[in-house]
Amino acid sequence: MAVPYEKIPFAGTVPSPQKENEGMITGSWRTRRPILDAEKCVECQTCWISCPDSCVNLMTEDSPITFNLKYCKGCGVCAEECPVGAITLVPELDFKD
Ligand code: SF4
Ligand code: SF4
């Protein structure tokens, strides 16, 4: 039986799920946090398509991308795939929040 997209867990296989799933929060796994260097970013969206947890958000007023830290598990795929090295993984212990 087909499963409607809205029933698939947030960390599933849909690139842009329409809603979050509180049962699939993966942010607490993270030991490193992705940080964007907006000066380097060329807005190619490779990080957005590459994130296995669909937690790269595109185009806010302040930044070409942002990370949904509730779900980002710090795997570093976005940083590896970024063609211009605009994403750096920084240890969580360096942050106060
Ligand atoms: S580190 Fe990057 S690829 Fe990995 S979950 Fe976080 S935003 Fe997604
Ligand atoms: S992959 Fe790199 S250059 Fe492309 S949008 Fe993401 S941060 Fe910017």
How many whole angstroms separate alpha carbon 92 and alpha carbon 61?
25
Give residue-wise pLDDT tens across range 26-53: 899 999 999 999 999 999 999 999 998 8
Ligand 2 centroid – CA 17 distance (Å): 20
Q: Is the Cβ–Cβ distance between 59 and 33 less than 8 Å?
A: no
Query: 75 CB under 6 A from ligand 1?
Result: yes
Q: Where are the domains of the chain?
A: 32-97
Q: What is the pLDDT of residues 81-97, one digit of tens each?
A: 999 999 999 999 999 87
The whole-angstrom separation of Cα 2 and Cα 38 is 40
In this structure, which residue's CA is closest to atom 6 in ligand 2?
47
Q: Which fold has domain 32-97?
A: Alpha-Beta Plaits (3.30.70)
Tokens of 69: 């830290």
In sequence order, what are the residues at sequence separation of 6 or more whose Cβ sits closer than 8 angstroms to the Cβ of residue 88? 34, 35, 37, 79
Which pLDDT value is given to residue 48?
92
Q: Which of the pair, 21 or 77, is modelled with greater confidence? A: 77
